[in-house]
Amino acid sequence: MSLESLFQHIIFSEHQAEESRRVIRGVRSEINRCREDMKKATEELNEEKTKLESKVQQFSEKAFLLQLWKIHENALERQCSEITNQRNMLLQTFGATKKRMTEEEEKFIKEITDFNNEYEVTKKRKLLIKENVKIEISDLENQANILKREMKSMEHDSGQLSELQKQKSELVQELLTVQRKLKVFEDKKNEAICTTKYLEAEKVKISEKPQNDAECLRHWHRKIFRKTNNLWRVDQSYPRCVCGVKSGAPEVFTSLCAWPFSS
């Protein structure tokens, strides 16, 4: 074999080997794809199997519920049939009882009518009813007269009650006025007591000083004037003393006003 043919044979062998490797790679790729497809198909199969099992379980539950409903329906049908039979029996009994009652009622009415016709009970009954009506009318008239007298008495009492209520309101107003005046009087009394105590204290203080002290006398007159002028308001019709106190003021204030001059 020549070198060239050997070289061509080697090249051809390499081509075949390359082709074989390419084919092998394709086969491997195809095998991997097939494995992926198989894995995917297996997963889908498992999912479908799970769904199918869930549906089978739901179907079993529904079949069980359906069986229960059928049993319940059969029981209700039997109960309905029994109730219908009882109703028919009760209707028959009611019809027979009603028929017997109608016959008894007709028989009783016939006997009552015959008895009334025989002894004239109807006529006597009408007379008795008329007498009872007259008695009731008389009683109602008496009650109406009594009510009229009571209404007149109540009207008279109502007038007196209104007058008493009016007098009560007036007395309440007078009481409130007196209470207000009493409160004002108490306030003035308390103020007068406080002023009197204050003036007595001032009198004691002044008695400790010389009575011929002009400054002391002026100070004393000013205090007396302020206290008495605040307590007793001056009335134009009353004469005033030296320090501004009314002639009708309490004796304690008059004596206090005149005290510096009495010695």
Give the pTM.
Answer: 0.29
Average of per-residue pLDDT values in the chain: 78
Of 29-38, 89-98, 160-169, 245-254, the least confident:
245-254
Q: How far apart are the first and last CA of the chain?
A: 183
Q: Which residue has the higher pLDDT, 64 or 192?
A: 64
- Condensed to tens digits (0 to 9), the pLDDT of residues 204-214 reads 776 765 555 56
**Which tokens is 134 given?**
């007259």
Q: Tokens 């008894």 — which residue? A: 104
**Inter-residue contact 263 to 211 (CB < 8 Å):** yes
* Average pLDDT of the residues in 136-163: 82
Q: How far apart are CA 251 and CA 245, in angstroms?
A: 10
d(C-alpha 197, C-alpha 205), whole Å? 12
The mean pLDDT value for 153-182 works out to 83
Average pLDDT value for residue range 174-178: 88
Q: What is the DSSP string of 23-48?
A: HHHHHHHHHHHHHHHHHHHHHHHHHH
The confidence band for 155, taking pLDDT boundaries of 50, 70 and 90, is confident
pLDDT score of 222: 66
Please give the helix or strand (H or E) that residue 211 lies within, else none: none
- Whole-number Å distance between alpha carbons of 225 and 243: 5
In angstroms, the CA 151 to CA 78 distance is: 74
For the chain, give every domain's residue range: 187-262
For residue 70, which phi and psi values (nearest 5 degrees)? -65, -40
CA angle 47, 50, 55 (to 5 degrees): 125
